[in-house]
Amino acid sequence: MALIVQKYGGTSVGSVERIQAVAEKVRADHENGHRMVITVSAMSGETNRLIGLARQLNDAPALREMDVLVSTGEQVTIALLCMALQKLGMRSRSYTGGQVAIETDSAHGKARIKRIDEHRLQADLNEGVIVVVAGFQGVDEHSNITTLGRGGSDTTAVALAAALKADECQIYTDVDGVYTTDPRVVAEARRLNVITFEEMIEMASQGSKVLQIRAVEFAGKYGVPLRVKSSFVDGPGTLITLEDDEQMEKPVVSGIAFNRDEAKLTIRGIPDQPGVAAQVLGSISDANIEIDVIVQNVAKDNSASITFTVNRNDLPQAEALLRSIAAELGAEEVTADSKIAKVAIVGVGMRSHAGVAARMFECLAEEGINIQLITTSEIKIAVVIDERYLELAVRALHAKYDLERLR
Ligand code: ASP
Ligand code: MG
């Protein structure tokens, strides 16, 4: 008899019919002898609707009140799911984050879970009750309602699984697993049976949107086996797990992630001296703008240039800051380009293979795609290219690494 935590996302509980379908699915697993803890998101679109209401009244609402507001979406779905389960003859009980209690810090809108009191849940489980917990929310030490950031229900599920020492945490969503790349771009993309936490974190940080990255980090840290499954079609989904040393052959590349969320800035003709990079990039990060890829070059005349990427939304502010620094330093020029995309190949097998980067660059060269920037980690190689060639690059790389072949 296993203890399973399941999380159902917004589309999975988006209507009364879908909530009924979830209840039937939960009943089937419960009748198979499992102890069940269910976390749900708000009905799809609900969190955005609530944020929209707030904006109509106040363009800078207090974060504390925002949390009181947006946490209601999940309170609706826990109650409705319990009603559906009870109608099917199951014993079930709903809990808000505060009732559990899921204790967080006081950072409204992006709170972090500190501790979960699992006693009430455990007592229910011992009596055969199906426990339904609101995702995305918690409570701080002063009893204020907090929320964990958009997509935070994934983190709630993982944290509950860790606290209850669950056998598996299953994330039910509208896709049937983690794919080698986005099937909307590459029709031959296939579902992975297994992917490691590390790979999943890289995939998520490079643009794959299947799971909230914090949830994967949390699961990796506590060794919670995580499985992504579809609420609409049956299947094994994708298991996200620790690296399995017995696995005979690790794929060099497990997946290709990409995003169009970044923009590139370059400052040219600055002194090649200690402290200059700190001054340039410090002015950007002091404004709380996240910098991703950074490249510095020194020209023949000993002047330096720095190129870096930021989120596209931050481009106007970052460019203004860079122009004022450029004036201070007497730089030659500042250029900005928002029509870029980042493509990354990810795989733990890279650790033990040479020539992976060269092969990637060769593949892009064959397609006539120019590489603007390169960044690597132990298990990832990412390049920044012209946005126009993004889909071509992803398709070519997918074919190059034989990712369409079933393993
Ligand atoms: N309802 C919240 C959101 O839309 C949390 C979640 O869905 O995980 O971001
Ligand atoms: Mg969601």
Q: Which atom of ligand 1 approaches the CA of 10 most closely? A: 7
Q: What pLDDT was estimated at residue 352?
A: 85
With the C-alpha atoms ordered 241, 244, 247, 253, is the resulting torsion angle positive or negative? positive
User: 69 C-alpha vs ligand 1 centroid, how far in Å?
Assistant: 13
* pLDDT band for position 7 (cuts 50, 70, 90): very high
Q: Which amino acid is at 210?
A: V
The CATH number assigned to the domain holding 113 equals 3.40.1160.10
Pocket test of ligand 1: the residue of 41, 50, 102, 210 to mutate, having most ligand atoms within 8 Å of its CB, is: 41
Residue 171 scores a pLDDT above 90: yes
Q: Which ligand is nearest to the Cα of residue 210, counting in written order?
A: 2
Q: Considering the domain boundaries, does residue 125 fall inside one?
A: yes
Q: Considering the domain boundaries, does residue 14 fall inside one?
A: yes
Q: Which domain holds residue 51?
A: 3-174
Q: Considering the domain boundaries, does residue 165 fall inside one?
A: yes
Token look-up 């190059």 returns 400
Residues in the 5 Å CB sphere of ion ligand 2: 9-10, 41
Nearest-angstrom CA–CA distance, 39 and 160: 9
User: 137 C-alpha vs ligand 2 centroid, how far in Å?
Assistant: 13
Q: Considering the domain boundaries, does residue 355 fall inside one?
A: no
Domain count, the chain: 1
Q: What pLDDT was estimated at residue 249?
A: 64
Residue 271 in tokens: 């002194």
Q: What pLDDT was estimated at residue 208?
A: 75
Name the residue at shortest CA distance from atom 9 of ligand 1.
Answer: 150
Q: Considering the domain boundaries, does residue 134 fall inside one?
A: yes
Q: Considering the domain boundaries, does residue 406 fall inside one?
A: no
Q: Considering the domain boundaries, does residue 27 fall inside one?
A: yes
Q: What is the mean pLDDT of residues 234-259?
A: 83
Q: Whole-model pTM?
A: 0.85
Residue 407 scores a pLDDT above 60: no
* pLDDT band for position 188 (cuts 50, 70, 90): very high
Name the residue at shortest CA distance from atom 5 of ligand 1.
Answer: 151
Q: Ligand 1: does its nearest atom lie under 6 Å from the Cβ of 14?
A: no
Q: Ligand 1: does its nearest atom lie under 6 Å from the Cβ of 401?
A: no
Please provide the size of the chain in residues.
407
Edge-to-edge order in the sheet of strand 333-337:
291-298, 303-311, 262-271, 333-337
What DSSP string describes 65-111? HHHHHHTHHHHHHHHHHHHHHHHTT--EEEE-HHHHTEEE-S-TTS-
User: 152 C-alpha vs ligand 1 centroid, how far in Å?
Assistant: 6
Q: What is the mean pLDDT of residues 259-288?
A: 95
Q: What is the DSSP letter of 235?
A: S
> Over the stretch 197-237, which tens digit does the pLDDT of each residue have?
999 999 988 877 788 888 999 999 999 999 999 988 899 99
Q: Left if phi > 0, otherwise alpha if psi is -120 to 50, otherwise beta: which for 45?
A: left
Q: Considering the domain boundaries, does residue 20 fall inside one?
A: yes
Nearest-angstrom CA–CA distance, 51 and 31: 39
